[in-house]
Amino acid sequence: MQTIFRGRHFISEQEWTREEIDTALEVSFDLKRRFATGEPHRLLPDKTVFMMFFEQSTRTRNSMEAGITQLGGHAHDLTPDKMQLSHGESAKDTAIILSRMGHAIACRNCFYGIGNEYLRELARWSTVPILNLQCDVYHPMQGLADLMVMQEKFGRDLRGLKVCISWAYATSHAKPVSVPQSQILLFTRYGMDVRVAAPKEFPLQQAIVEQAQQNARHGGRLTFTDDMDAGFEGAQIVIPKNWGGFAWFDKWEDSEAQKKEMKANLEKSKGWICDARRMKLADKHVKYMHALPADRGKEVTDEVIDGPHSIVYDEAENRLHTAKAVMALTMGGR
């Protein structure tokens, strides 16, 4: 078990070894048990985490804030409008100043082509851990919680588990690709048989796919289909979720013509919903997962998300335990 984490950044799960992720999961299970029994676990007394949210959040914000409180510390819930970065203050100055006042800087910035670079710039200047609360490329906190719930339902050895990560239709907003990207990176490292189903207009980033293919070399598998039904066939876990039509990635100009094309692509795939018929194509004991929030009636029917196969609330609860583990290890520990 790897035990030396103090001061480490958690920007992508890829930068933590498999042994380190195993330790984070072990600590998450321990903290969940202590939470369940009411055993105090003030591992970070008087420590401060600064949370900078460039976007909305329910699970991430509250798992971090409740988590640090339970660990004996405190969170500052910051948004750009509360900070001088709204007047152009640099990531460098922000990181140096906050480092001098507290013990970790956590940030969500999902703007395409900007988010991950912003976190990297914070990390360049910070003397305390930078914790990624979701960027344009990765959502490592979600990935960890997903692994935890999978181990709870299928046992610690996840090798060979058939998982379908599927694109799904949604209209609330173009959801980041960071969730499926963190999932393919992590799940392949744990030896799972991962199938990604998505219309061709909604690819994942090529560099991440290549990295996940490398990860799969140690016993995992990563395959692709543009047929949602084929993706669901025999799957033991299905994770159908929208992600934006950022097919252009580097070519994205935010032009009206591109936006129109993206909307047309979205409407073409309106039938990509997780419903009872599709669930029947999967293994009879299949589990339904979603990072949430879900577009009910679009990504998934109420019958499925509220049904016996759904484990979305266990998955969401694990955001608390895994966030606490990451903070306890990087802000405290040894």
Positions in the binding site for ligand CP (CB under 6 A): 57-60, 134, 142, 291-292
CB-CB neighbours of 133 under 10 Å: 26
Tokens of 295: 């577009």
Strand partners, 105: 50, 130
CB 108 → ligand CP: shortest distance, Å? 8
**Element (DSSP H or E) covering residue 166:** strand 162-167
CB 38 → ligand CP: shortest distance, Å? 26
Q: Which is nearer to ligand CP, 142 or 181 (CB)?
A: 142
Give the contacts of 87 (CB within 8 A, at least 6 positions apart): none
Q: Which is nearer to ligand CP, 66 or 292 (CB)?
A: 292
Q: Which is nearer to ligand CP, 28 or 99 (CB)?
A: 28
Q: Cβ(185)–Cβ(247) under 8 Å?
A: no
**Element (DSSP H or E) covering residue 276:** helix 276-281
CB 77 → ligand CP: shortest distance, Å? 13
CB 57 → ligand CP: shortest distance, Å? 3
Q: Which is nearer to ligand CP, 134 or 166 (CB)?
A: 134
Q: Which is nearer to ligand CP, 142 or 236 (CB)?
A: 142
Q: How far is CA 38 from the centre of its chain?
A: 27
CB 111 → ligand CP: shortest distance, Å? 15
CB 260 → ligand CP: shortest distance, Å? 27
Q: Which is nearer to ligand CP, 134 or 183 (CB)?
A: 134
What length does the chain have? 334
Region for residue 79 given its phi and psi (left: phi exceeds 0; alpha: psi -120 to 50; beta: otherwise)? beta
Triad 142, 62, 66: Cα angle to 5°: 110
Q: Which is nearer to ligand CP, 62 or 151 (CB)?
A: 62
3-state helix, strand, coil split of the chain in percent (to 5) is: 45, 15, 40
How many whole angstroms separate alpha carbon 246 and alpha carbon 112?
9
How many whole angstroms separate alpha carbon 170 and alpha carbon 176?
12
CB 20 → ligand CP: shortest distance, Å? 22
